[in-house]
Structures are given as C-alpha cells and as structure tokens.
Chains A and B, each alone.
Chain A
Amino acid sequence: MYSDKFGRLMLGLCCRKSTRVCGVRSAFSWTSACKQRTLRRSAWLQVKQQALPFQIRAHSASHTTLDPSEVKRFQSLASKWWDEQGEFGALHAMNDLRVPFIRDNLLNVHRGHQPGKPLAGLKILDVGCGGGLLTEPLGRLGADVLGIDPVADSIGTARLHLSHDSVLGARVRYRACTLEELSAEGEEGEEEEGVGQFDAVVASEVVEHLADLETFAFCCSHVLKPGGSLFITTINKTNLSYALGIVAAEQLLRIVPRGTHDWEKFISPVELERLLESNGFSVQSIRGMLYNPVSGKWSWTDSTAINYALHAVKLIEEPQPDRAQADNPDPEYRAHAASTHN
C-alpha cells in the first residue's frame, strides 16, 4: 500500500465499486488491497492527496484529540478497512496466516517469551500498514509496533480504530510517511551509520506496488537491527498470476479496475531472494499461500505460483549497498550467516 506515483495515476479513474463485489468472494480478492486503495481514492476525487490540514499526535490517541470534523471523513474509510465481510475481507482472513508466520519465526529467533505476550520487548515496523489490519494483532501479541503508510487517511482510520483501546494504544503507533523518509531520519538521529531500530520489518502486500525495490530493500536493511527479520507477502510473477490476477480480475470480471496491478511489478520468489541477498539479507523460508474464495480462508500451500510469504534475516555483518557482497565467495562469511539462524 505504498506508492505515491501509482496513487496519482489512479486518481481520476472512475470508481467501479460494484456492489456485487460485496459478499462475492472471487478468487482474486487477494488483490483487494490494491482494489480498495484505488476505489477509495476514486471515491474522493475531491479530497486532496496532499497533507491534510490537521495534525494527529503520534502516540496513543484517545478519540478526544481527533478533530471531530475529520471523524466523519474517516467513517467511510473505517467501514471499508475494518469490515471483515467487506472488500478487505481477504486481508482480514490473511491474518490467520501472516500473524502466526511472523510470530513463530520471531519466537524461533528470540526465545523465552512471557505467556500472554509472546512478542513482548520486540519492536516491529509495519510498512504500508493501511488501516492497521496487521499492526493491531502484532501489538496485541505484546510487540511495540510502528505502522507507516504514505496515505494519511489510512493512518487516520487506523488511529481512530485504535483510539478506543488504551492498552493497545500504548504499544502501537502510526505515522504517515514513507519508508525512505523513516530510514533517512534514522540516519540523522543515530551516531553510527546504519544502526537499526527495529527487530522486525513487515511489508505485507506492498512489494507488488513498488517501483524501486532496490531502495526498498536498502531502507529495510537500514532500519533493521543486525539479525533482525524481514517479512514480505506478495504475488508471484507467473502465467498463472497473470491469468488470474490481471486478465480475469481486471479485464474479464472487472473486480479490480484496469491497471490496478501491473504484472511487470510482480516479483518471483527467486528474484526477490536474489535482490534481498544482494542487500545483506539471508532468506530463511518461502511459503506459498492460497486463497479459497468459497470459504474465504487462506491456507498454506506448497506452490508459490500465486501468493507467497517470505522471511529473511539481516546478516550481522554490515551490508554494502553495492553488489560486492553477493560475490563474496568466502565460505566463512556464509557459514557465519547460516549460524545466526535457528
């Protein structure tokens, strides 16, 4: 959910929010993330995409700090993001896979959790958090989570949804910014270059909308602590994903407006792995995910042909921004990288 360039392209498209979509689970609603963004933007052609006139304080907001006139605007947002049977139903359902995936992989690395709060003490960054669908569960598991999204309205929705829960609000924060901005800030604030602040970065359903993956990988590496984890869920670049995700969803059934997805932007697991490893990550696991439109549930699958989830770990050594490291044939280096994993 992170692409300013893409977003501006989408503004001006007619909204084709067909009511038949509601309640109809298509095989392609994993693209609902993109769909909703598009539809939402289209729905407010009047709304300026620039920074909104109010300031929302970043720490736990009770609803009294929100400007009441903005609350109305968030109402339509809230109804889309947090409606479990609505357009984002598939994203809500995906939590059944992504939260355990993140939780278990983090527990493997950081042992000794306290009961009731398995991720206590960990700092997590949720890139492209949208309405906070994934941010809140991670917060409930005890982690300190920062959710960022370039769309300020999404952040507003997320804050509003969080505002009633003061316990969770102490652990979860939102900011409307991009990953590059955050990473740049980090650089200024730290004495040493590249000292990361986060134990884990989560970028779920984000990578397929980015123009520049290299920068993304670099920034992730920058904000992560050494040994920190990176979790990505995205769509594969295969004939099957083209047939289902582009042709059927956009052109035939028109569930997703034309042009929402750019097949060229999909990335295969192999490519992504190569990209990450050249940026100082070591990919730990890749698992395929499958959406069942009938039951509305996701499940793990052996095939990564359509959706997949990936877990990578930032290597302890300082990563170089260029490719010299990928060429490093030193067996000791690789052995050390291997030994940092479970």
Chain B
Amino acid sequence: MHKLTKATLALNGAGRCYIAVKHCPAAKTISRGLVCTEHVSDPGKSEVYDVIISGGGMVGSAMACSLGMEPNLKGKKILLLEAGNKKVMDKVSDTYSTRVSSISPGSATLLSGVGAWDHITGMRCKPYQKMQVWDACSDALITFDKENLQDEMAYIVENDIIVAALTKQLDSLSDNVQVKYRSKVVKYTWPMSYQAADSIPWVQVTLDSGETLQAKLLIGADGPNSMVRREAGIPTVKWNYDQSAVVAVLHLSELSDTESSLVWSTSHGHAEELLQLDEESFVDAINSAFWSNDNQSEFIERAGSLFRGALSVLMPSAGSTRQLPPSVAGIGPKSRVMFPLGMGHASEYIRHRVALIGDAAHRVHPLAGQGANLGFGDVACLTQVLSQAAFNGKDLGAMQHLLEYETERQRHNLPMMAAIDLMKRLYSTNAAPVVLLRTLGLQATNMLPPLKEQIIAFASK
C-alpha cells in the first residue's frame, strides 16, 4: 500500500474558523497537588496497583507492554483498563481496514523493543521509501526519498493490526501486566498531596462494575476526549479545524500491489457529500481531485516555472523525478468512513500521580502522519523515566521525574504540532499570495537535500 499525501485541500475555499477553548486554571499558584473529594472508608478492600493505564488503544497497549518488559519494573503491579473488547486476530482478514497509521522508524524501534513488531510484520505491514507531496494550485511538488533504498522511510500499518500485535504480546506478559477488558471507568478520585493523614494517598479508579482500584500512578491513554484529562482539570488548548477526514481503501489501476489507503481532509459538508456518493462517483471525485488543473492560475504557473528554472541553474542535480499521481480504479467495499479533525494540546501532561500520553496529551491533523508516532514517543520517554525512578527507589507517582517526562516531550511535541498546524493553514487556501509563497517555498525546499534530510530526521524520531 502506498500513501500519497495530498498537500492541497483546496476543493472548497479556505473558510475555517477555529474555536480556541482555553480553560484557564483559577490560579496558577495552586500547586499541582489535587483536590481530594472524599475519604474511602475501607481501603483494605481495594487493590493497590503500582501503575494503572486507562485506555487500551495503540498507545495505551504499547505503554503496558513497555512497562511490562522493563527489567527495573519487574515485580511491580501494572494494570491496563480497556472499555472495549479484546482484539484478537488469529487470521489477518483479506480486506484492508481503513484506519491506518504511518509508523516512523523510531516507533518501529519501540514496537520491536516490546516484541510486537515481529507480530506486525508477520501479519501485514508495508514499508515505503518515497513520499511525494504536490500542490493542487501549482506545479510545485516535493519528494522525500531515502537515497539508499534499503532503508525504509516509514511503514504503513493498519491500526487494528498494531493493537492485535500488542494484545498478543500482553498475553505473554501476564505475570507482570494484568488487562481488564470491558471495564469502563466512571469516576476518578484524586489524592491529596502529603497533608492529610487520614486519606488514601493513591489515585482511586471506580469502574462501572462498582469495583474500586487504587494506583500509585495513573497513566491516561484514553484518546483525544480523555476523561482523565478532563477530570483532572488539566487545561487544554484546542480548536476544531473545520474539516473532516474521509478515509477509504483504494484500488489503483496500474500497480501490481494494488491497494492503497486514502485520507481526504476536507470541509464537513463536502465530506458528507463524499460519503453519500456511490462508488463510481466517489472514484471520479478522487481522480478529478488528483488530476484537475482547475485551481491553477497562470500567474502562479509562470512564477513557479521561472523559479524552478532559476533553481535548476544553481543546482542542476537536485530535485528528483516527478511521479504522476495514480488513477484510481475502484474502492474497497464498505470502506468509507469520516471523522472530524481538530488540534488539541494539554497544557500540562502531568499531575501528582497522573501522566497523560498519546492523543490524550496531544491531537494533531493527520496530514503529516505523526499522530501515532508522537504517542509512541511518549511511551518510550515515560518508560525510561519510570525505569530510572524505580531504580532509584522512588515513588512512581512523584512529581519530580514526571516533570522530566513532561518537559522532554513538550519540547519535542510542540514544534512538531506547530509545524503541522502551519502546514495545514498554509495549504488550506487558494489565495494567490499564499499559493505563490508556498509554491516557491516548496520548490526551494525540494532542491535542498540537506533540508529535506533534516525534515525526515525530525519526523522519524
């Protein structure tokens, strides 16, 4: 499967509004110790876990595996709570599922470290070496490819396969890590910080079955609408892109490896229309989006080709050949889905005895294929921090090392998120000056291999 990222979304005009919902904490001077709501009268009945991970998606399961395999954490009690069912995949289904992720080499390293990568490659995954991005409003394009084609740039893997592989690995770690499926959390009770002598110092998690569990550290991996984050009162900066993504599986006409995954980000209205179309019309819509020249203006074209000419005088060897976009022959049956897009970032990733990872901490536009990778990066960093803390005999929920995790990840995530958001805004418009700017910028970047290498390196972490 190839994934060709379409840099332009300009089928409709720009017109996006963003809703910045910023919950300002009442006073920043309030220390991060949280408000205790009640005393539990019989603590002896609840089981105390060292770590509870709330949310068994890709990132939550990876966190559970990673902690379970960490030698310094051997003997600690780890629990993963997942509201859904256990995802077992004995046989890989013939039809590709529509939700896929681009897994960077850094994430692949993490997954292989927890022993899930072998399962994934055994099931189904597709490495790719080349990525081409082109503008609908001009002829500008940029290609990324690894010089030596032995190295993969990244892998496209279906989300279901990742989760199934991690689940399989968790089964083998059952002496360290417990998993509770079909367990929905209804309430979190936060501990007071050191002061109160009488109350439980652990986080209490109440399930819908009525069971209460206690944790020395709660890790929130419960997705972009994280309950952990909400209940902890962590302020979040977020806005909606006025867009939805339509995903589908495509059958391409010319390649032998014929299936491909589509992620089409467009306005809500258009996305709904696309879902309503019958298969043929949908295929036509895709093809026209790839091939049409409607949005190109002469001025931009001329400017673009002049610039390209100038650049090729300066650097004749740079720039790779342009690969024409594919033409789509058909789509996978019943494979079209849409979901809304937005950006979100929790201003704090941690509290006393709480840490957020994955989409709960940060949510990005899929255009750069980085969402899952940021989450896996969080997993790697938090595991390392907790391992070191355990080796120093520290209380796992203590703020000191959690702060290190937060600082390191925010330093890495924020620039990435800013870049993705910038790209999104840059390419969401038809306005001539912006188009000109991005055309020239894209062409220039395409001609600078060192710059492209930097970009790839940053995205591969």
Partner of B197, one of A74, A85, A117, A165: A74
A85–B29 Cα distance when bound, in Å, is: 13
Does B357 belong to the interface (CB within 8 Å)? Answer: no
Interface stretch (choices A1-9, A25-33, A95-103, A263-271): A95-103
7 A–B contacts from the bound complex (CB under 8 Å): A74-B197, A75-B195, A78-B194, A78-B197, A79-B194, A99-B392, A136-B395
Contact B399 A160 (CB under 8 A): no
Interface string of A118-147 (1 = CB under 8 A from B): 100000000000000000111111000000
In the complex, the answer to whether A116 meets B73 with C-beta atoms within 8 Å is yes
B197 contacts across to A, CB distance below 8 A: 71-72, 74-75, 78, 160
Whole-angstrom distance between the alpha carbons of A119 and B271 in the complex? 60
B393 contacts A99, C-beta separation under 8 Å = yes
Closest to A86 in B: B194
B73 partner residues in chain A, CB cutoff 8 A: 116
**Once the chains bind, are B74 and A100 in contact (CB under 8 Å)?**
no
- A78-B194, A78-B195, A83-B194 given as contacts; is B393 within 8 A of A164 (CB)? no
Chain A contact residues, majority secondary structure: helix
Contact of A164 among B76, B202, B390 (CB under 8 A): B202
**Taking CB as reference atom, which chain A residue is nearest B43?**
A164
Q: Is the CB of A137 within 8 A of B201?
A: no
Whether A115 contacts B74 in the complex (CB less than 8 A), given A71-B197, A72-B197, comes out as yes
Not counting A75-B196, A103-B391, a sample of 8 additional A-B residue pairs whose C-beta atoms are within 8 angstroms of each other reads A62-B44, A72-B197, A84-B398, A85-B31, A95-B392, A115-B74, A116-B73, A140-B390
The 10 residue pairs across chains A and B that have the minimum distance between CB atoms? A137-B393, A116-B74, A115-B71, A116-B75, A140-B393, A82-B194, A141-B393, A75-B197, A115-B74, A71-B197
Interface presence of B347 (CB below 8 A): no
A117 to B74, CA, bound (A): 8
- Minimum Cβ distance to chain B for residue A122 (Å): 13
A160 to B195, CA, bound (A): 12
Whether the pair B194, A103 counts as a contact (CB closer than 8 A) is no
Neighbour of B48 across the interface among A95, A115, A116, A165, CB < 8 A: A165
Contact indicator per residue, chain A 199-219, by CB within 8 Å of chain B (1) or not (0): 000000000000000000000
Contacts of A115 in B (CB 8 A): 71-72, 74
Interface positions of A (Cβ within 8 A of B)? 62-63, 71-72, 74-75, 78-79, 82-85, 95-96, 99-100, 103, 114-118, 136-141, 160, 164-167
- Count B interface residues, CB 8 Å: 28
Task: Mark interface residues in B67-87 (1 if CB within 8 Å of A CB, else 0).
Answer: 000011111100000000000
A71, A85, A103, A166: the one within 8 Å of B393 (CB)? A103
Chain B residue with Cβ nearest A79: B195
Which residues of chain A are near B394, meaning CB under 8 Å?
95, 137, 140
In the bound complex, do residue B390 and residue A116 qualify as a contact, i.e. CB atoms below 8 Å apart? yes
In the complex, whether B153 has a CB less than 8 A from a CB of chain A is no
User: Complex: how many Å from CA A333 to CA B293?
Assistant: 93
A71-B72 Cα distance, complex, nearest whole Å: 35
Q: Which residues of B contact A100 (CB under 8 A)?
A: 392
- B200 contacts the other chain (CB 8 A): yes
CA A83 – CA B196 in complex, angstroms?
Answer: 11
Within 8 A of A (CB), among B372-431: 390-395, 398-400
Contact flag A71-B198 (CB < 8 Å), given A84-B400, A141-B393: yes
Contact present for B200 and A116 (CB under 8 Å) = no
Decide if B201 touches A164 in the complex (CB within 8 Å). Answer: yes
Distance between Cα atoms of A103 and B393 in the complex (Å): 9
Complex Cα distance, B46 from A166, in Å, reads: 12
Q: In the complex, A103→B44 CA distance in Å?
A: 32
Residues of B contacting A71 with CB < 8 Å? 197-198
B74 cross-chain contacts in A, Cβ below 8 A: 114-117
- List residues of chain B with CB within 8 A of the CB of A74: 197
- CB proximity of B70 to chain A, nearest CB, Å: 9
What's the nearest-Cβ distance from chain B to residue A49, in Å? 21
Mask: chain B, 100-121; 1 = CB below 8 Å from A; 0 = not: 0000000000000000000000
Asked if A116 contacts B76 (CB within 8 A), the reply is yes
Which residues from B are CB-within-8-Å of A116?
A: 71-76, 390
Q: How far is the CB of B385 from chain A (nearest CB, A)?
A: 14
Q: Mark B28-62, 1 if CB is under 8 A from A, else 0.
A: 00010000000000011000100000000000000
Whether B200 lies near A164 (C-beta < 8 A) is: yes
